[in-house]
Structure 1
Amino acid sequence: MNRAAPKNLTERARSYHRLVRGETGGEWVDFSGHSAEGADFSGLDLRDANFSRARLAGARFVDCILDGAVFFAADLKSADLSGARLVGADLRGVDLTQARLVGSDLSGANLREAALLDGPPLTRDSGEDAGSPDLAWTRHAVRPACLDGANLSGARLAHASLHGASMMEVDLSDADLSRALLPRSRARKARFIDAVLTQTRLTGADLRDADMSGSDLSCADLDMAETGGMITSGETQDWVTLTPAALDKAIQAHETQCKRPGDGKAADFSGHDLRALSSLRGRILTALVARNANLAGMDLSGVQLQGAQLAGSDLRGCTLDAADLRGADLSGARLSQASLTQTRLGPLTLAGGRLYPANLRDAQLRFIRAEQADLSGARLDGTDLTGADLRTASYDPDGLSSARTDGARLT
């Protein structure tokens, strides 16, 4: 651990600020591993700075610009980030207990396994979460973080611990809260529009007047939650459900048909809820028919879905890394918060050399991660790519002319 007086580190931070702003006397600074509890960085532009594993308990980042900054595994207990901009920041594994983020902007930030905790002492071997693989460390009796009014739209909060956090009027639209722990959180008038809530624990939470429009609550735990005035979509999808054994049997038959035509049977999962399996990793599902199906939050990495019919399906929060979706029809599908690292969404070559492009027309791909993904030739008419990360993806720039790219990172 590098130790520096808070005053000295603040002075170096001002040099970094000057560098970012193009002013004279600026210099690049690596803040990783430094110990500077109580340092005051208020008002500085520290975008893309590296604070990995830094000890910054009680530090002040009020009204700072921290877009793209890395705080991996940093200690920010009791830190004040009120009014700060942390768009796309890396906050994985950060300890934010008792921190203040009132009015801050964390849209698109990654808070996976971050701790914003409250409650009595609790370890892996005791209490309500005994044995939970999501619990990365011991919890202590502390006050929760204050996120009132913060913008967390598109934030990645999978597996995050927000026990008792104050989240009044927070915006969590399009956020990935899969398997996050929010018991006893105070989220009155919060916006959860189109959020991914797969196995999210909201037990005892105050959700009065919260807006859950577009979110699927069927797999969320709302036991004892206060839901008076809570807004939902109004319409609920009546999914066709099968047992895991029946689903797996049908998928095996489809795989056999793909490998040896005539020996198996092509599956049609249109309108089905496939989440009972949780994973289809590496399966061969070429030309699968699953229109308007629910696969939200599933692990589909490495799956072969060439030419699949997935129009209107819910794939929010899915892991599709290295999956082959060439020529697939994903028109109107919902893929917000999906991981598409090295995913193939280019055209499928048919007999005679004819190319059949992937169809993403009117699909929702908000806040997707598409590192080294191939979207060349894909139909993107009306596609919503708000906040998407396409910096290392292959795509036709002209194809984005009719797509929505607000806040997307393209270069």
Structure 2
Amino acid sequence: MSTNTPASAPPPVPPSPLREVIRSQDWYGQDISDRRYSHHAFIDVDMTEVTNEGAVFDHCTFRGVRFNVSRHSGAAFTNCTFSHCVFFDTRFADCKLVGSLFQQCTFSLFEVSGGDWSFVGLPGADLRKASLRSVRMREADLTGARLEGADVTDVDLSGAQLHSANFIRCDLRGSDLASLDPLTVELGRATVSLEQAAVLVTALGLHVA
């Protein structure tokens, strides 16, 4: 596993206004489906192998939380902050994470399919070999993110911040690359479609005769 090291400092924990702090609890293997939390802080909570279908977390803070082997489907984590959390073999399917921020988190065997991750902040995130499929990530911040060998197919990256991102050996087929400046990212051995190649050539100011 690898840990990202964004330059920005971790956000204050917990957020304000705060309703409750849930600290050092063991939620191992629990089914948290359909629970609702707003303005809560989760600190050093073990959510390993948690099952989550439809739970809602709004304006919550997660610090030092372990999401290992957890499964989240149709859930919402809106405007949340994840700091120093661990995502090992974690899967999100058709979830909504609009406006959420990840800082100094660890990702391994990380999978996201479907859902809305628009305006998500993942600056400097180490997402090597992650799977991000059919996700809406409009205006997401992927500045300096590492996506070597990742599967980033059919992803809506319109308006995304991609400066200094690493897409080496990344599968980008079907994704919106209109916001990608090939001069400011690494694309060596990335896989793209012919249509996407035309977009990249145009971004380089070249004309195909």
TM-score by length of 2: 0.75
1:228 Cα offset (Å): 6.3
Deviations 1:296-321, CA, capped at 9 Å, x for gaps: xxxxxxxxxxxxxxxxxxxxxxxxxx
1:227 Cα offset (Å): 3.7
Query: Aligned to 2:105, which of 89, 96, 99?
Result: 89
What is the aligned partner in structure 2 of residue 111 from structure 1? 127
In 2, distance between residues paired with 1:30 and 1:205? 44
Alpha carbons of structure 1 residues 104 and 178: separation in structure 2 relative to 1, 3 Å: same
Give the aligned residue type for 2:166: D
1:174 Cα offset (Å): 1.4
Root-mean-square deviation (CA, aligned residues, Å) is 2.5
Alpha carbons of structure 1 residues 176 and 70: separation in structure 2 relative to 1, 3 Å: same
User: Does the 8 A contact of 1:185 with 1:204 survive in 2?
Assistant: no
What is the aligned partner in structure 1 of residue 19 from structure 2? none
Equivalent position SS for 2:86: coil
What is the aligned partner in structure 1 of residue 157 from structure 2? 167
1:153 Cα offset (Å): 0.8
1:2 Cα offset (Å): 0.8
Instruction: Between the two structures, name the one with larger relative contact order (CA 8 Å, sep ≥ 6).
Output: 2
Query: Aligned to 1:2, which of 29, 33, 38?
Result: 29
Give the aligned residue type for 1:49: V
Identity of aligned residues (%): 22
1:69 Cα offset (Å): 2.1
Instruction: State whether structure 2 residue 14 is matched by structure 1 residue 14.
Output: no
User: Does the 8 A contact of 1:170 with 1:187 survive in 2?
Assistant: no
Query: Aligned to 2:63, which of 43, 47, 56?
Result: 47
Equivalent position SS for 1:46: strand
In 2, distance between residues paired with 1:205 and 1:184? 9
Instruction: State whether structure 2 residue 88 is matched by structure 1 residue 60.
Output: no
Instruction: State whether structure 2 residue 95 is matched by structure 1 residue 79.
Output: yes
In 2, distance between residues paired with 1:156 and 1:99? 21
Give the aligned residue type for 1:183: R
Query: Aligned to 1:150, which of 135, 140, 144?
Result: 140
Query: Aligned to 1:70, which of 48, 65, 86?
Result: 86
Equivalent position SS for 1:66: strand
Deviations 1:229-268, CA, capped at 9 Å, x for gaps: 4146x9xxxxxxxxxxxxxxxxxxxxxxxxxxxxxxxxxx
What is the aligned partner in structure 1 of residue 193 from structure 2? 203
Query: Aligned to 2:199, which of 223, 226, 236?
Result: 226
What is the aligned partner in structure 2 of residue 278 from structure 1? none
Alpha carbons of structure 1 residues 195 and 227: separation in structure 2 relative to 1, 3 Å: closer
Deviations 1:184-222, CA, capped at 9 Å, x for gaps: 21121334553221211122454xxxxxxxxxxxxxxx3
In 2, distance between residues paired with 1:167 and 1:148? 5
In 2, distance between residues paired with 1:92 and 1:181? 17
Give the aligned residue type for 1:83: G
Give the aligned residue type for 2:59: G
- For structure 2, which runs of at least 5 residues remain unmatched after alignment? 1-27
In 2, distance between residues paired with 1:166 and 1:205? 15
In 2, distance between residues paired with 1:180 and 1:146? 18
- For structure 1, which runs of at least 5 residues remain unmatched after alignment? 20-27, 118-143, 207-221, 235-411
Give the aligned residue type for 1:226: V
In 2, distance between residues paired with 1:30 and 1:72? 12
User: Does the 8 A contact of 1:183 with 1:205 survive in 2?
Assistant: no
Deviations 1:121-160, CA, capped at 9 Å, x for gaps: xxxxxxxxxxxxxxxxxxxxxxx11111111011111111
Alignment of 1:1-400 (within 5 A): 2-7=29-34, 14=40, 16=42, 28-117=44-133, 144-204=134-194, 206=196, 222=197, 225-227=198-200, 229-231=202-204
Alpha carbons of structure 1 residues 204 and 108: separation in structure 2 relative to 1, 3 Å: same
The structure with the greater share of residues assigned to helix is 1
Alpha carbons of structure 1 residues 57 and 193: separation in structure 2 relative to 1, 3 Å: farther
